[in-house]
A and B are shown apart, each in its own frame.
Chain A
Amino acid sequence: MPFSAHAAGILVRAAASAGDPPQLLPAREQMAFTLGFHIILVPFGVALTALMLIANYRGLRHNDEQALLLAQRWSKVAAVLLAVGAITGTVLSFELGLLWPGLMGRYGAAFGFPFAIEGIFFFLEAIFVSIYIYGWKRLPPWTHFWTGVPVVLASMGGTAAVIAANSWMNQPGGITMRGGRIVEVRPAEVFFNGAFWFETVHMMLASYIVAGFFVASVYAVGMLRGRRDHYHRQGFLIGFVVAAVVMPVQIYVGDVVARQVFQDEPAKFAAVELLPDTGRHVPETIGGVLIDGEVRYGLRIPDVASLLAGFSPSTKIRGLDAIPPSVRPDDSAVSVVHLAFDVMVGTAFALLALALWFALLWWRKREVPRNRWFLRCAAVSGIVAVVCLESGWVVTEVGRQPWTVVGMLLTRDAVTTQGNVWPFFAAALVIYFAVGTSAVLILRSLSRRWRADGDERDEGLDVPYGPVQPLTDTNAGEGGRA
């Protein structure tokens, strides 16, 4: 049964949430699942397209056919993933209305418009990906390169717009309420809310890390299987170097973000630090869970949480006891946030270590490392980066609970009271699994065909957004290339 992995978590939370509206559990599970799925696709829209342009630039600059081949193939992978992202994104916009009418009805006037901005950016991105794929054989090389630039810019704009909506839910502002209705909206304050900049920068960098390591891991696997040609080395280097350069920056930014959360979202910070009681000299707890309001298990390093939050061991950190009991997150939610934070930081430092290892090996030999253990680690780095990304979003989203809009709307008041969400959720699960599996199979079949094709660049007849074969080819889709 595909549900079994989920079942345990569902039972745990079902037990903890007696008295909530009946649709809250399936609605939250469905939103978590579909958002968690969609978020994996975002880095590829944002950063794989940038890697593709880097390869394109290198190819043109150094007259490197192999780099151009990489760029062309990555543009097709980006097109397939963009198509999947478009589908899952459409479902998300339906879900906002079907699952969370309380949110959209009350606050749609305030934070609905960033989605409209996102819509434009997405439309532009889809159009320019198509132009770029068509352009390989129809535009002069440098003109073609420049048609790729709007893809990268549009994907950044789209991501920023969606994050504007999300960060508004964390730090709502820019509205005046009277009698439960929004009477005034200040759009600039809504969009550029308190959490906008750090969430956006954090996510952009995460996108480059995920896409970079993911691309590198594909070619690392190839090199482990003995394909150590220029093509594989280039593919590995472009992905890995981008991710490795961004990684330390991200860790610095993450540290800044954590302090922002400490100041502006104390409830989330208390959950992150697994801190039941307000106090000074707060230890950093690694691992561990909250049971009956007490911290159990885990490793405690004295004073470090206070030191990190305020650069002094005597920094006072507000604990869960500072939150009114009626809106205090339950133990399981706090434990989830804390563990997710640990996983995020742990995987981030593991990836940083990998980047440093690469720097050391490169400094000694000036070539793509041959060390098999390094390549094995690089081969799993893409998956590790995705885990890091997902756990970061768990911290943001679960860390906001029980609120949907902090201080203004509880999740249980946002959820639909009509009908039964379970069948919708079940159908979404089945379809997403089918779409996910199909996407993986198709990417694999593309890669197999490319290996068979060797070094030649083709038209891109086989991907969404790409050109189609002319009508005269009656045996469409039966092997070979046009």
Chain B
Amino acid sequence: MSDTISVLLFLGVIAYALFGGADFGAGFWDLTAGGAARGSRPRKLIDVSIGPVWEANHTWLIYCLVMLWSAFPPAFTAITTTLYIPLGLAALGIVLRGAGFAFRKASMRTPEQRIYGVAFAASSVLTPYCFGSVAGAIASGRVPTGGAGDPLTSWNNPTSALGGVLAVAVCAYLAAVYLTVSAAQNHSPELEAYFRRRALLAGVVTGAVGLAGIFILQADSPRLFHDLSHRGLALLIISALCGLAGLALLRSERPVALRALATLAVATVVCGWGVAQYPYLLGTHLRIDEAAAPTPTLWVLTGVAVAAGALIAPSLALLYVLQNRGRLETRS
């Protein structure tokens, strides 16, 4: 039962990496789009593409937090009492980001829009870095079972830095790919080329960070390296192949299946981490079943996860249909 819940929890982590990641990445490209005049068209595309779902994506984060504190309370407090600095920064980043995005849309004047835009973009980079470093800290076993680990070195170390940089790069790559496809759908060849160049660049950088990561992990957390290179190897290979295929597609200017490949590349990497970590929740010292809440709680959570899937998927589908539907002409 505790394994089922950990899988459900980890599905949330993957979903957040994909949907939240694309969202953060869009903020990254917003930040680097240049001045108000030059950057207005890419920013507009970013608005069009992520607007409708921007914050639904962050519900995945809440899902992960709630799953963690209900199903594995000791692990949750071990993490929060050790990594309170990056988590606190991430929380503030999310507030700034959400507010910046929501209000940029609602405010009319350009100077105001610029302030909200900067808040949105800067926190879009800070937040994924923090989450990446948190993942690095958990994976490399720097969160003690009893909590209250070192508040600074736990998330400022080679593995955490790798996690943080990789998170930012992955977000940028995902977003650039999605935006390339979105530009194509919006019949904007100019923007398509713009984001294709950036997707290529981000893809290459992500790959390079991943390669460097092999050496970093070998030196800094040999245990994680060992599990990743044995149990997680197949997933990492799939991820690398998807990444390469994605780059080839980007070069050949054919966006077919590009989105799926990028999604798969990222999902398999995150999945590789989960597989390497199993059966431990924290490093190699807290097992999943040791940290689990009593069974009835786990049943309720499973029920909630199933209900979420059953209720939310059709509602999202309805929203998607409406978004793509033209206006009804019979009404004023």
Contacts and interface: CB of A to CB of B under 8 A. Distances in A.
A115 to B, nearest CB: 5
Interface in A151-191: 182-187
Contacts of B299: 187
Nearest to B151: A419
Interface stretch (B102-110, B196-204, B221-229): B102-110
Interface in A226-276: none
A108 interface: yes
Given A87-B98, A139-B322, A418-B84, A442 B312 contact: no
Question: Contact size class for B?
Answer: 35 or more
Contacts of A89: 62
Nearest to B58: A90
A461 B90 CA distance: 29
Interface residues of A, number: 88
Interface stretch (B74-82, B255-263, B267-275, B281-289): B74-82
Interface in B39-98: 40-41, 44-45, 47-48, 51-52, 54-56, 58-59, 61-63, 65-67, 69-71, 73-74, 76-77, 79-82, 84-85, 87-88, 90-92, 94-96, 98
A126 interface: yes
B296 interface: yes
B77 A97 contact: yes
Interface string A439-454: 1011001100100000
Given A94-B88, A131-B319, A417-B148, A137 B106 contact: no
A112 B327 contact: no
B64 to A, nearest CB: 10
B188 interface: yes
A409 interface: no
Nearest to B186: A471
A119 interface: yes
B304 A130 contact: no
Contacts of A141: 331
A91 B73 contact: no
Interface stretch (A289-297, A314-322, A392-400, A462-470): A462-470
A442 B74 CA distance: 42
Interface in B275-332: 293-294, 296-297, 299-301, 304-305, 307-308, 311-312, 315-316, 318-319, 322-323, 325-328, 331-332
A463 B304 contact: no
A137 B307 CA distance: 30
Interface string A119-147: 11011101110110011011111000000
Contact of A471 (B44, B88, B151): B44
Contact of B147 (A101, A112, A131, A442): A101
Contacts of B118: none
A438 interface: yes
Given A90-B58, A108-B73, A140-B328, A185 B297 contact: yes
Contact of A184 (B65, B294, B318): B294
A113 B315 contact: no
A48 interface: no
B325 A138 contact: yes
Nearest to B47: A468
A109 interface: yes
B315 A116 contact: no
Interface in A80-129: 80, 83-84, 86-91, 93-98, 101-102, 104-110, 112-113, 115-117, 119-120, 122-124, 126-128
Nearest to A191: B300
A424 interface: yes
Contacts of B98: 83, 86-87, 90
B108 to A, nearest CB: 6
A457 interface: yes
A151 to B, nearest CB: 11
A462 B106 contact: yes
B95 A87 contact: yes
Contacts of A360: none
B113 interface: yes
Interface of B: 40-41, 44-45, 47-48, 51-52, 54-56, 58-59, 61-63, 65-67, 69-71, 73-74, 76-77, 79-82, 84-85, 87-88, 90-92, 94-96, 98-99, 101-103, 105-108, 110, 113, 116, 147-148, 151, 186, 188, 293-294, 296-297, 299-301, 304-305, 307-308, 311-312, 315-316, 318-319, 322-323, 325-328, 331-332
Given A119-B59, A134-B319, A134-B323, 13 more contacts: A87-B94, A90-B94, A91-B95, A105-B76, A186-B296, A416-B80, A431-B95, A442-B107, A463-B105, A464-B106, A474-B44, A477-B107, A478-B108
Pairs A-B, 9 closest by C-beta atoms: A112-B70, A109-B293, A105-B77, A108-B73, A97-B80, A94-B91, A101-B77, A108-B69, A83-B102
11 contacts: A91-B95, A102-B77, A104-B77, A105-B73, A108-B77, A112-B69, A113-B301, A115-B70, A123-B56, A442-B106, A445-B107
